[in-house]
Each structure stands twice: as structure tokens, then as C-alpha cells.
Amino acid sequence: MQQLLKNYLYFAVHPFRQSEVFGEVRALELEKRRTMSLSLVGSRDDETSKLKKSFAPMSFYELLSCSWLLAVIKTMYFVLSLMIGHYLIRSGTFLKGIKNLDFLRAGEQNQETVLFILLLQLVFFPLGVWIYIKFWKTIIIFFTKLFDKDEGIESIVDEVVEHSLCSHVFLLIPVFGDLARHFSSVIYLYAGCKNNLGLSSIQSLAVIISPIFLLLSFFTSVILSFLIIVMSLF
């Protein structure tokens, strides 16, 4: 478990280098299969083994387990902050002039609702990860086909998207952890597209920002449809 967390943290800290190593190992193995000379095969084996020692591949379930653990820690942060806030309010440290108990009860009910939603998110965390992976795999595979990179691309896309789950390490940061996680996941996806898939910087950027254009197109079509319906009524 310790080595697993170490690998997880290493990829979170070095996303570009790790994505580059994935690509280098794959290129060396492909070249080894194409090489017929035994001496060259031996040298390529040595080079591949050296590269493989610089990182330990993580399976989807390993990445999911580590990310889920960090989500649990984030929930514990929130529960702890609720407990501290509840204690301070009840002890009269804050809001000393407030005598309206309905205000306090409403605040407690809101806290319970938020806590219930967080616990639901924690329980259904694997489902959210599955949707995230399916969404980005669909986007990236579409663009790789558009850029004429079809050969054995699905396994590489799996590596790119699944290892972007390492962005959950930023959930260790209180308050701003979620924001940092969303921002860093985009960087990890960009690093994977560029250094692992072998896309250019412009192509990788196009893949990353494509969901924004999809959302804009969707809302534009909805607004236009609504306007057409309204105009047809008059």
C-alpha cells in the first residue's frame, strides 16, 4: 500500500515526465518487436527495463482506490469543520448577540443536508469516476481518429484518462482542494495527450477545450430552438 501511494503521488507531481515515460516504453517495445537482430533486441530490452524502473504502472482499480481514499479524507475535513463550527456557535464564541434559536436550527438543518449530499457523493464516487472516464475517453478517441491516430489507441487513451485521477491528491488541500483538483485534472489530460498519445500542443489543447465548445453548442441550440418555438406561436 505504501508503494502504491508513493507511485500515485509521484505521478501527481510529475505528470509530464510520467506521460513521456509511458510513450517511450511503448515506442521501445514496438521497435523491439520490429527488430530482427538479437543484439539489438538485447540492447532494447535493457533500455526498456531501465525506463520501466523509473515508474510503476497503476491499474484502474489502484488509481480508483487511492482517489477514493482522498475523497474520504476530504469528507472528513468537512465533518471536522462542521463539528468545530457547531461547537463554537453552541459555546457562544461566535454570534453572541443572536438569541433566535430558529436561526441556529435552520443552520443545523442546512449542515445536515450538505453532509448528507457529501456522503452520497462519497458512496457513489466510483460511479462518478466511471462517468468521468467514459466522457473523456469518448472525447479523446474522437479527436485521435480525427487526427489519424487509430492504431492501438484505446489502451493509450485508457492510460491517459485513468492516470488523470491522480489529480485527487489536491483534495488534501483544505477549502481550495476541489478547485485545484479540477484545474490539475485538465493539466494531466493535456500532459497525457501530448507526451503519451503523441499529439501536438495545438491538438492536445483542442482536445481539452472541446467540452467547452460542446456545451456552448448545446446551449446555443436550446436557445435557438426556444426562440423558434416562441416565434412560431406569434
State residue 181's pLDDT score: 92
Q: How confident is the model at residue 103 (pLDDT cuts 50, 70, 90)?
A: very low
Question: Average pLDDT, stretch 103-120?
Answer: 70
Average pLDDT, the chain: 79
Cell of 46: 535493457
Question: Average pLDDT, stretch 195-202?
Answer: 88
Pick the more confident residue, 106 or 34.
34
State residue 136's pLDDT score: 93
For residue 13, what are the contacts with CB-CB under 8 A and spacing of at least 6?
none
State residue 199's pLDDT score: 87
Q: How confident is the model at residue 145 (pLDDT cuts 50, 70, 90)?
A: confident
* Domain interval for residue 152: 2-233
Contact 191, 177 (CB under 8 A): no
State residue 35's pLDDT score: 66
The number of distinct structural domains making up the chain is: 1
**C-alpha–C-alpha distance, residues 29 and 47, integer Å:** 10
Question: Average pLDDT, stretch 128-136?
Answer: 94
Neighbours of 12 (CB within 10 A): 19
Instruction: Judge whether residue 204 has pLDDT over 80.
Output: yes
